């Protein structure tokens, strides 16, 4: 039975709340008519409905337009605690605001830092390769992490100990670093419970210096 036919079924239009309303223009009148005829109202929502490409595109554009409204986004996110929906809502934000929201999440920050470090230069560098040779030669428990695969407080050390001693090692050229680089690096990793050793290009050629400093720290000593 179509809506056109239902138009001719008495609905009580003109009385009370239904005054001036018809089954064609008001969903409540439409459901009331079906109820009188002993029928259940059809599913009038968009759920399980199939749409063409143009319709889907229009729906998508309307949703994106709505999500540009900050009050609307806040209201919708308060209603839903679903991680998937929250992630989708962030994707619908304007680019600058989307990045700002994503940066608040730990996983996103870590992902960006790792990708950035991988793209900076070809790794390992010649200095890093030199330390790898020394570690292998003397069987020292250190693993290369200069590719950004391991972060400590959003900073990636070049090497970390794998024997549980929480020692990290940095190696670099003095020319590319300022005079406070070594101190800043040591203080940063210390905040997370790591002891940091920093070697420059001159140190990398001195095996005895590297071995002695590493063994001193591993045995509980302090560099002066």
- Rounded distance between C-alpha atoms, residue 55 and residue 143, angstroms: 55
Structure confidence at residue 185 (pLDDT)? 94
Class of domain 126-218: alpha beta
Structure tokens at 200: 């420059």
- Rounded distance between C-alpha atoms, residue 183 and residue 189, angstroms: 10
- Report domain extents, the chain: 1-49, 53-104, 126-218
What DSSP state is assigned to residue 40? P
- Rounded distance between C-alpha atoms, residue 54 and residue 204, angstroms: 64
What DSSP state is assigned to residue 42? P
Report the pLDDT averaged over residues 74-86. Answer: 64
pLDDT at 138 over 80: yes
Sheet hosting strand 159-161, strand order edge to edge: 142-144, 159-161, 167-172, 195-200
Helix boundaries (H) for the chain: 3-6, 27-36, 53-67, 70-79, 83-91, 95-102, 106-120, 126-137, 181-190, 201-204, 207-218
Name the pLDDT band for 18 (thresholds 50, 70, 90). low
The more confident residue out of 183 and 81 is 183
pLDDT exceeding 70 applies to what percent of the chain? 59
Strand-pair partners of 168 = 160, 196
Structure confidence at residue 93 (pLDDT)? 58
Structure confidence at residue 63 (pLDDT)? 78
Rg (CA), the chain: 33
Structure confidence at residue 10 (pLDDT)? 45
Average pLDDT, the chain: 76
Structure tokens at 16: 């009370």
Structure confidence at residue 13 (pLDDT)? 46
Structure confidence at residue 160 (pLDDT)? 96
- Rounded distance between C-alpha atoms, residue 155 and residue 158, angstroms: 10
Report the pLDDT averaged over residues 3-27. Answer: 54
């Amino acid at each position: 039975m179509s809506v056109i036919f239902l138009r001719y079924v008495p609905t009580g239009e003109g009385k009370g709340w239904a005054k001036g309303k018809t089954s064609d223009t008001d969903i409540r009148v439409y459901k009331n008519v079906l109820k009188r005829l002993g029928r259940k109202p059809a599913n009038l929502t968009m759920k399980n409905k199939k749409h063409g490409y143009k319709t889907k595109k229009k729906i998508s554009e309307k949703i994106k337009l709505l999500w540009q409204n900050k009050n609307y986004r806040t209201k919708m996110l308060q209603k839903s605690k679903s991680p998937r929906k929250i992630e989708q809502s962030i994707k619908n934000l304007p680019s600058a605001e989307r990045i700002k929201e994503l940066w608040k999440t730990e996983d996103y920050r870590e992902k960006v830092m790792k990708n950035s470090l991988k793209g900076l230069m070809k790794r390992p560098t010649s200095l890093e390769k030199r330390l790898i040779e020394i570690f292998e030669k003397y069987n020292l428990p250190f693993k290369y992490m200069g590719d950004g695969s391991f972060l400590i407080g959003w900073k990636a050390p070049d090497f970390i100990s794998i024997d549980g001693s929480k020692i990290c090692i940095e190696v670099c050229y003095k020319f590319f670093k300022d005079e406070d680089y070594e101190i800043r690096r040591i203080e940063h990793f210390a905040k997370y419970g790591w002891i940091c050793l920093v070697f420059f290009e001159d140190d990398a050629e001195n095996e005895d210096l590297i071995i002695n400093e590493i063994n001193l720290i591993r045995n509980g000593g302090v560099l002066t």
